Amino acid sequence: MADIFDVVADPTRRQLLGRLLQLAPRPGVAGEISVGQLVIELGISQPTVSKHLKTLREHGLVTVREEGQHRYYRLDPEPLIEVEQFIGPFAEAAGVTAADREPDPLAPVYAAWAGTEVGSRLGRAAATTAFGARSALAGAQERLGELGEALPWAKRG
């Protein structure tokens, strides 16, 4: 799970995913775009686009179709369902209710990518919760270490 969060944490990859989301397959629309077109539309260098698309592909967020020397990419939202299920409780803790959500169950995830206020609130709630969990774990480990030193029978040796 942590890997996919690392992947979508990068602003360039979010920008690429956002553009691919705009092309999501609809009747009469192919839903894919070439690397060259992404370079032109987003104003990012070709090596940078290719590097980030490779990471997105390795984590199952995009698929690629090769045609001669050209590569065409398409969004694969399936891995994002797990992300949405994880983020859902944080959205509610941040005050985003089901009524605030759009009909698309992945709308909060897409909003987070787009840098909207909902995404910012979700990110802050997730970061605060993660920090609290790490702090609690570190405190518990420290306390266990202290107890181990205080109790002669608990020492390893």
Question: Tens digit of pLDDT per residue, the chain (157 long)?
Answer: 448 888 888 999 999 998 998 887 665 556 889 999 999 999 999 999 999 999 999 999 999 999 999 999 999 888 888 778 888 888 778 776 655 555 555 555 555 555 445 555 656 666 667 666 777 777 777 777 766 666 665 555 4
The pTM of this model reads 0.57
Q: CA–CA separation, 137 vs 124, rounded Å?
A: 20
Domain containing 15 equals: 2-76
Residue 155 is assigned to a structural domain of this protein: no
* CB-based contacts of 74, cutoff 8 Å, min separation 6: 20, 23, 25, 31, 32, 62, 63, 64, 65
Largest CA distance in the chain: 74
Residue 34: inside a domain, yes or no?
Answer: yes
Domain boundary among 51, 76, 101: 76
